[in-house]
Amino acid sequence: MAAKIIDGEAIAAEIRQQLKKDVAALEHAGKAVKLVAVIATENKGARSYAARQEKDCAEIGAQYELAELPADSDEAAIVARIQQLNADRSVSGIIVQMPLPQGVDARRLQTMIAPAKDAEGMNPANQGMVVYAPQPFYKKPAEGEPGYDNWLEQSLGWPLPSPAPCTPVGAVTLLRSLNIDLYGKEAVVVGHSEIVGKPIALLLMAHFCTTTICHIATRDLASHVRAADIVVAAAGVPGLIKGEWIKEGAIVIDVGINRVEVLDENGKPVLNKKGKPKQKTVGDVEFDVAKERASYITPVPGGVGPMTVVMLLKNTVDAAKKG
Ligand code: NAD
């Protein structure tokens, strides 16, 4: 079976269109939407990520501001800036840009952002709301019971928590977009980080998947993946999930983003114009083999990545709606 490719760019574009309408409605009601990025670095990657955020905000009609601090700022100075933004009624969402100056604790900063303005959804209060994901059912109704007829719509349509970690909500939104009954499906999440693996596993459980979490200490990764109806790969190891492990018809969501060298047919690095090895972005799953076995698969790039970006905007717009 050749898998259908899940087009994250297209689904993210649809969400952006809706957000644009939401921002216009908020403005009409006298509420501007503003995302502020706290930045204390000259790092090129951080600056280009900020430029991307600015462009994304402009596209949906939201305001964007950089709260600049010197690259040698200490934690107290950054916390003080975050507290000002927490208190500023014109600010809907706050993000702290990485990397941070040496010695500054990212986790502490995330706890200092007011939960209601937490654009990345990483404040422990918002992580906690993922545990409390408002799963509206105790179990699937039996045939003839109330709710049976519109089960699929109900079970995939309840609002996901917000603000909540962007990548997990983005990945689960892709899964929901397939309009498949997730009740009782065997799901395997490879990776158990706070930002990706753990919240994804919690959200899958809220959809009644029987969820297994694998990580670096898992003894037989292959056997877990082989049994899965849904595989979510989030380890950051290129090619970790072998295509032949994927069960026929399984759904594959590849969160991994890895830069690897492009090789020629002899396995030698292909060089670019500057004579340096050419690189490309790949996920954690052996895509070419996996796509012949899976029913649906996300590409890398173009799968989960665009969803992460749009969820940052959604968290901010949702915050403005509540503010
Ligand atoms: P992390 O390093 O914090 O966590 C990696 C996880 O993978 C850990 O739980 C670790 O135990 C597990 N792991 C590592 N090697 C393993 C192995 N050989 N076998 C089994 N488990 C293994 O990384 P993270 O921040 O959770 O990110 C994971 C990947 O997702 C990275 O590639 C990252 O770039 C990517 N990512 C993508 C997006 C996106 O928008 N698509 C967003 C965030 C992170």
Question: Using a 6 Å cutoff on CB, does residue 310 contact ligand 1?
Answer: no
Question: Using a 6 Å cutoff on CB, does residue 281 contact ligand 1?
Answer: no
Nearest atom in ligand 1 to 218's CA: 20
What spacing in Å lies between the alpha carbon of 291 and ligand 1's midpoint? 21
pLDDT tens digits along 2-19:
999 999 999 999 999 999
In this prediction, residue 163 carries a pLDDT of 97
Question: Using a 6 Å cutoff on CB, does residue 214 contact ligand 1?
Answer: yes
Over residues 284-302, the mean pLDDT reads 98
In this prediction, residue 82 carries a pLDDT of 98
For residue 168, what is the DSSP state?
H
pLDDT tens digits along 205-240:
999 999 999 999 999 999 999 999 999 999 999 999
Over residues 46-55, the mean pLDDT reads 94
Out of 3.40.50.720, 1.10.3720.10, 3.40.50.2300, 3.40.50.1820, the CATH code matching 133-150+165-305 is 3.40.50.720
Identify the three-state secondary structure at position 301.
Answer: coil
Angle at 217 between CA 188 and CA 187, to 5 degrees: 5
- Read off the pTM: 0.96
Residue range 28-121, CATH number: 3.40.50.10860
Nearest atom in ligand 1 to 258's CA: 32
What spacing in Å lies between the alpha carbon of 223 and ligand 1's midpoint? 19
Rounded CA separation 14/18 (Å):
7
What one-letter code names the amino acid at 126? Answer: N
- 136 pLDDT tier (thresholds 50, 70, 90): confident
Q: 28-121 and 133-150+165-305: same fold?
A: yes
Domain ranges for the chain: 28-121, 133-150+165-305
Letter string b/e over residues 166-194, b meaning 16 or more CB atoms within 10 A of that residue's CB = bbbbbbbbbbbbeebebeebbbbbbbbee
